[in-house]
Structure 1
């Protein structure tokens, strides 16, 4: 079952695409797309998972705001934050955009709470730029989440994590995955972020694949297994 949520007034909810695996969902997955894509990009992934043995889940795919992206000549596209330099190494991202997008994800999390889905039954997921925002928002969220899934990305604003991380999500399960041959977000960026998070004591699973900037078949299988464990633990 798929539906589109129309644009809301300013300072309100992002437009989204939704797919539910059954009636009256008890769990939610908020999945953020990468730079230049939109909420439809990962919508087909739901059909790739075998979720029949799990309670109904609502998958939510928000559309990032339209903004000028410096690295693309100022072209306006869907982006969670601006990329100002080809060397967008961790620590050089556009902080205001990251924080603005985090506030918009907080609004979506709050809406799920209002719909009867507690934070502890929500997974925050994302790919590439969306994965970076998922990590940033998830580790700072004031209520314990079910898990954070971060694919082909890195931890943005890592130097502020120690001061801003919320105690509620110090033990949130983290799943990070990266292609060893990624030409867009270098593999080393993701690996270093995972190492940092492990050093901080986060329970993180790291997965590496012989792939580029994509989600490969083996990765889909690992994500499915992780979702089964996360949702099963929250039942």
Structure 2
């Protein structure tokens, strides 16, 4: 895990990478945000374990969970593995709190598979967090959301971002997540960009602004 820990940091972001990537793969995105040095923020970029991925012919790669297919919601994310990953990130949140980072000063962010785990964790976390940022992603176990949504998550600042031309996680899957969150009484921000399954400069500017708003004095 990459742990960027500047002196006097009171805020933290947990960044969760996508399938086949690593924490190191997300580090350039964090650097590109060029967050102000006068607001020191700790960035934690954990690695998913290596596991066989069904849609990739069973080849092993870093992944938070297995994907059998995208046609049915139950195939998009192995629920047992999603819950195990959620436990891993919850443990990281507990560690941060023990080190002096209040939960309300911590954002969970993720891209693609990482966004699935970020949302699954944040929406069930029992104490208020600073925010949830999801990029090019969807919901795991969507039918369980209403029953498992924590009281703390009902006021959670949420931002979803998606590429209009995403051919990996189709835009409709992001819209489905947005609509399910709204049906649960939440109010996610929504941003679309003329891009595929990737990041772009306008999106990075929006990520930067959203994070700064979450950590404003």
The answer to whether the 8 A contact 1:123-1:148 is kept is yes
Among residues 75, 87, 104, which one is paired with 1:103 in the alignment? 87
Among residues 19, 22, 28, which one is paired with 1:38 in the alignment? 22
Q: Distance in 1 between matches of 2:87 and 2:170?
A: 27
> Displacement, 1:53?
6.2
Cα displacement string for residues 151-204 of structure 1 (whole angstroms, at most 9, x for unaligned residues): 000111110011111101111000100001001000110011112212222121
Q: Which residue of 1 aligns with 2:162?
A: 178
Q: 1:18 to 1:211 in 2, by over 3 A?
A: same
- Structure 1's consecutive aligned runs of 4 or more residues displaced over 6 angstroms after TM superposition are none
Among residues 61, 65, 83, which one is paired with 1:77 in the alignment? 61
Counterparts in 2 of 1:1-235, with a 5 A limit? Answer: 16-20=1-5, 22-52=6-36, 55-85=39-69, 87-92=70-75, 93-232=77-216, 235=217
The answer to whether the 8 A contact 1:54-1:228 is kept is no
Unpaired runs of 5+ in structure 2? none
Query: Which deviates further from its counterpart, 94-103 or 41-50?
Result: 41-50
Give the root-mean-square deviation of aligned CA atoms: 1.3
Unpaired runs of 5+ in structure 1? 1-15
Query: Which deviates further from its counterpart, 22-31 or 127-136?
Result: 22-31
Paired residues in the alignment total 216
Q: Distance in 1 between matches of 2:162 and 2:140?
A: 16
User: What TM-score, normalized to structure 1?
Assistant: 0.88
More helix by share: 2
